Amino acid sequence: MKLKKKVVVIGAGFGGLQVIKTLANHKDFDVVVVDKTNHHLFQPLLYQVATAVLSPADIAIPTRSITTKYSNVKLYMAEVHKIDVQTNEVSFADKKEKYDYLVLATGAKTSYFGNEEWKKYTFGLKNLKDALSIRKQILLSFEEAELSGDPSTIEQLLNYVIIGGGPTGVELAGSIAELSHNIIRKDFRIIDSAKTKVTLIEAGPRLLSSFHTSLSDFTKLKLEERGVEILLNSPVKSIDAEGITLADRKIKSKTVIWAAGVEAASITRELPFEKDKAGRLIVDGYCRIKEKPNIFVIGDAANFSHGLSRPLPGVSPVAMQQGRFVASLLLKDVNLDKVKTFEYFDKGNMATIGRTDAVAEFSVIRMSGFFGWLGWLFVHLIYQVGFKNKVSTLVSWIWSYITFRAGARLIQEEINSK
């Protein structure tokens, strides 16, 4: 009789979930999943929760509702705080779990490039808590501005600064401009929310640097049409409670959003293996650690450069394809010399600018404007996990499109679990 192998998967995000699904109900494997949250999160739509277009439950699904169908999968909600690579054991809560194979799919966290003190004065966007904090801050700033009689306080409250001109920064800037200049304009009597200033700051020479320059130019034009001020070649010098400082100016703001960088989640830093500057573990062509071939690292936690001029990007298709690849390796149980190394199938890049405008590129095909936007809507709907989430997201989008309203404009009070 063949002995069952135990696979421990840390992280049930884009990559981890594919490993779990591929090994599900397989008689040769026991799968133990550990995730510090109780949900699988569709991060590409986090910015819509942050700007009150969608509710948290539209973009997250309880992980147990997925694993309930998989009899060989045991799920723990806990943060893994130690991985012992000598004894093949992971520790979380007061438990220890032995593994035959370990899959590290722990994703990334916000990186301040060594300026940790900036964290205190900015909002990151990496999980639901971050998105709800931004939503609360934006909605509260309008309320506080309506209450304040002081013009300079009002100006500071209605100044929104977004640092980082990648897809997340662009999407946030477009969405905050739409919220303040259109959606909530009729809701206030004293302030004019259309006077809200949204500034998008990028250290490099163009927005969306991973896209073709024509799409970067289109994005800049469309954001400016929506009233967003764009500052290129403008690295941030410092950030404090008053706002931010650039080489040539200071911008006062109560709402500074940091969308400029990510690094691997903390647990990878603890491991005694080679990492890149962003803390990502260097893996071989099979997504394994060279010294420990029973440890696989996938998605945002990995630096996969095998045969490439630069590492694969931190995007969901990389994580999903690597998740399926690793699980299929385990299922094949064959001599690795005969198996092809991982090859990424690049499905292209997309970013939305706002209502009816997006940019998309698939190899040499480029789309912008309305058709790019329709493509963006379609792709983001089909990749949402769970039928209910697809339907509720679609309904919210149709409602917002027709009514010019955003349905999730709630300022949440603090909730204590005890």
Ligand X SMILES: Cc1cc2nc3c(=O)[nH]c(=O)nc-3n(C[C@H](O)[C@H](O)[C@H](O)COP(=O)(O)OP(=O)(O)OC[C@H]3O[C@@H](n4cnc5c(N)ncnc54)[C@H](O)[C@@H]3O)c2cc1C
Active site residues: 171
| Residue with smaller CB distance to ligand X, 12 or 256 | 12
Chain centre distance of CA 391:
21
We find the least distance from the C-beta atom of residue 75 to ligand X, in angstroms, to be 11
Asked if 89 interacts with ligand X (CB under 6 A), we say no
Q: Which amino acid is at 300?
A: D
| Residue with smaller CB distance to ligand X, 168 or 393 | 168
Which residues does 350 contact at the CB level (< 8 Å), separation at least 6? Answer: 167, 358, 359, 360, 361, 372, 375, 376, 379
Q: Contacts with ligand X in 124-153 (CB under 6 A)?
A: 125-126
Which residues does 137 contact at the CB level (< 8 Å), separation at least 6? Answer: 123, 254, 255
Token pair of 306, please? 């095998």
We find the least distance from the C-beta atom of residue 305 to ligand X, in angstroms, to be 16
Phi then psi for 42, rounded to 5 degrees?
-95, 85
> For the chain, how many residues are written?
418
Instruction: Please report the DSSP string for 324-386 in residue order.
Output: HHHHHHHHH---GGGSPPP------EEEEEETTEEEEEETTEEEEEHHHHHHHHHHHHHHSSS
Q: Contacts with ligand X in 48-87 (CB under 6 A)?
A: 79-80
Asked if 44 interacts with ligand X (CB under 6 A), we say yes
Using only C-alpha atoms, the chain has a radius of gyration, in whole angstroms, of 22
We find the least distance from the C-beta atom of residue 36 to ligand X, in angstroms, to be 4
The stretch near ligand X (CB under 6 A) out of 138-146, 194-202, 242-250, 296-304 is 296-304
Closest by CA position to 103, among listed 331, 320, 326: 326
Q: Contacts with ligand X in 313-342 (CB under 6 A)?
A: 314-317, 319
Member of 51, 88, 141, 168 binding ligand X (CB under 6 A)? 168
Asked if 167 interacts with ligand X (CB under 6 A), we say yes
We find the least distance from the C-beta atom of residue 254 to ligand X, in angstroms, to be 21
Member of 20, 35, 132, 198 binding ligand X (CB under 6 A)? 35
The 10 Å CB-count burial string (b at 16+, else e) for 160-186 is bbbbbbbbbbbbbbbbbbbbbbbbbee
| Residue with smaller CB distance to ligand X, 106 or 384 | 106
| Residue with smaller CB distance to ligand X, 145 or 267 | 267
Count of positions on this chain that bind ligand X (CB under 6 A)? 34
The 10 Å CB-count burial string (b at 16+, else e) for 72-88 is bbebebbebeebebeeb
Asked if 267 interacts with ligand X (CB under 6 A), we say yes
The stretch near ligand X (CB under 6 A) out of 137-145, 188-196, 271-279, 295-303 is 295-303
| Residue with smaller CB distance to ligand X, 158 or 278 | 278
Asked if 166 interacts with ligand X (CB under 6 A), we say no
Q: Contacts with ligand X in 98-117 (CB under 6 A)?
A: 105-107
The stretch near ligand X (CB under 6 A) out of 21-29, 37-45, 277-285, 330-338 is 37-45
Report yes or no: 280 and 298 within 8 Å, Cβ to Cβ: no
Name the residues that contact ligand X, by CB under 6 A: 10-16, 34-37, 43-44, 46-47, 79-80, 105-107, 125-126, 167-168, 265, 267, 299-301, 314-317, 319
